[in-house]
Amino acid sequence: MKVLGIETSCDETAAAIVEDGRIILSNVVNSQIDIHSLYGGVVPEVAARSHIEVINPVIDQAIKEADLTWDQIDAIAVTYAPGLIGSLLIGTLAARTLAILKNKPLYVVHHIEAHVYANFLNETTPEFPILALIVSGGHSQLMLFSDHNDYQLIGQTCDDAVGEAFDKVAKIIGLPYPGGPSIAKAAQHGNPHAYKLPKAHLSGAYDFSFSGLKTAVLRAVQREVGVDITFPSSSLAELLNEVQRADFAASFQQTAIETLVDKTEKAFHGYSPKSVIIAGGVAANQELRRQLSERLPVKINYAPIELCTDNAAMVASLGFFQSKNNSPTDPFSLEVESSLSMAK
Ligand code: KG4
Ligand code: ZN
C-alpha cells in the first residue's frame, strides 16, 4: 500500500510517499528555517503564507520523485494536530481537496505520534512494547507503546519542552535559531562542567521540567558578565566571549540531556520494554544518543537525523498503520486541532 503523507504543522512543508509503512519512495521537505531565523523564531503568519506558496510544488515533487502516477497511490495521510493553526489548515486543506478530487481514503495523524514512526522507517524496526522518549520543540514526554494505536503516557514536562529550552538558551547566549543544532555545534568546543546547573527534582517519577534550567543559565550568564537582573537579557549575549559561549552551550546541553537520560533509564527499569526509541527534533542530538546508549542495557537503533526533524515520511508511515485499524476520515468534515494531547 502506497501512502502520500503531508505535513505542515510548523515551519516545514513536507510531502512523502511510503510503501507499507516502511519503505520510503520519496521524501520532500521544504524548510522555512532561513525565513524564520531572521526573526529568531517561528512567526505563525509567515509560516502559513510560506506553506501556501510551496505546498502544491512539494506534493508534485514527492509524486515525481517516487515515479508514480495518482492511480498508484492508495491513500493520503495528513497531520491534523497539534501545531500552528494556520499551518495545519494549509496541509489539511490540500489533503482534503486531493482526497476528494482523486477519490482516495484520507487518514489523519497526530504529529507527535507520527514522530515515533520515523523509527519504523529504519532498517531494523522496533518491537513492542516500546518505550518512546519524544522530545521536540513543543513536547517532552515518555510513552509506552504496547502496540500500534495502543499507548500510555508515563511522564511529561511540567513546563517548557526540552527543544524549547534549547531554543531559548541559544537566544540568551547569542546562538542562531534553531537553538538545538547551534547549541550542539557550539558545545563541541565547550567544557560541559564549566558551569554547575541544577537538575529539577519532581514528584512525578517520570516527569521533566526545563524552565528552571533555562532561568539558571540566564542567572549564570548575568553573574559571569557581572550584571544584575535589571540588565536587558537581549543584550547579554554581546558580553560573552566565544569560550564562555561554548562553555554555556556545553554545560546546558549536558544538564538537559542528563535529565532526559535519567528519566528514560528509570522508565526502562520500571516498565521493561523490548525496545527503546527516541523521536522528535531533539532526537537528532548526538550527545543524547551517546548518553542513552551508554546508560541503557539495550541496543537502540536510532533513526537517521533527517527523519527526526519534521518530515512527511513519518506521517505516511503512521497513516499506513492507522489504515489497518481505523476507518478513513470524511474529507468534507475534517477539522484541525492546534493543541491536542496524545494522552487518551
Ligand atoms: O520535531 P521538531 O522538528 O519540530 C517540532 O515538532 O517541534 O523539533 C524542533 C526542535 C527545536 O526546538 C530544535 O531546536 C530541536 O528540535 N533540535 C535539536 C537538535 N536539532 C533540532 N535539539 C537538540 N539537538 C539537536 N541536534
Ligand atoms: Zn515535530
Query: Mean pLDDT for each consecutive 10-residue tract of the chain (344 residues)?
Result: 97 97 98 83 89 97 98 98 96 98 98 97 95 95 97 96 97 95 98 96 90 97 96 95 98 98 97 98 97 97 94 98 96 95 71
Cα angle, residue 242 at apex, residues 228 and 214 outer, rounded to 5°:
50
284 lines ligand 1 (CB under 6 A): yes
Ligand nearest to the CA of 308: 1
> Which residue bears the cell 491534523?
80
Max CA pair span of the chain: 66
Q: Which ligand 1 atom is the nearest neighbour of the CA of 12? A: 3
Task: Tell me how far apart the alpha carbons of residues 118 and 134 are, in angstroms, rounded to a whole number.
Answer: 11
309 lines ligand 1 (CB under 6 A): yes
**pLDDT computed for residue 236 by the predictor:** 96
User: What is the dihedral sign for C-alpha 17, 289, 134, 37?
Assistant: negative
Cα 229 to chain centroid, rounded: 32
Q: What is the DSSP string of 94-154?
A: HHHHHHHHTT--EEEEEHHHHHHGGGGSSSS---SSEEEEEE-SS-EEEEEEEETTEEEEE
pTM exceeding 0.85? yes
Say whether the peptide bond before residue 304 is cis (omega within 30 degrees of 0): no
**pLDDT computed for residue 61 by the predictor:** 98
184 lines ligand 1 (CB under 6 A): yes
10 lines ligand 1 (CB under 6 A): yes
**pLDDT computed for residue 343 by the predictor:** 65
**pLDDT computed for residue 35 by the predictor:** 85
282 lines ligand 1 (CB under 6 A): yes
How confident is the model over 165-206, as pLDDT tens digits?
999 999 999 999 899 999 999 999 999 999 999 998 888 899
**pLDDT computed for residue 101 by the predictor:** 98
Q: Which ligand 1 atom is the nearest neighbour of the CA of 137? A: 7
Record the cell numbers describing residue 82, joined without a space.
497539534
Ligand nearest to the CA of 282: 1
Residue 51 contacts by C-beta under 8 Å, 6 or more apart in sequence? 8, 13, 87, 90, 91
Q: Which of 84, 257, 282 to mutate to test the pocket of ligand 1 (most atoms within 8 A of CB)?
A: 282
Strand order in the sheet with 12-19: 23-31, 12-19, 2-7, 75-81, 106-110
Task: Tell me how far apart the alpha carbons of residues 37 and 167 are, in angstroms, rounded to a whole number.
Answer: 11
**pLDDT computed for residue 180 by the predictor:** 97
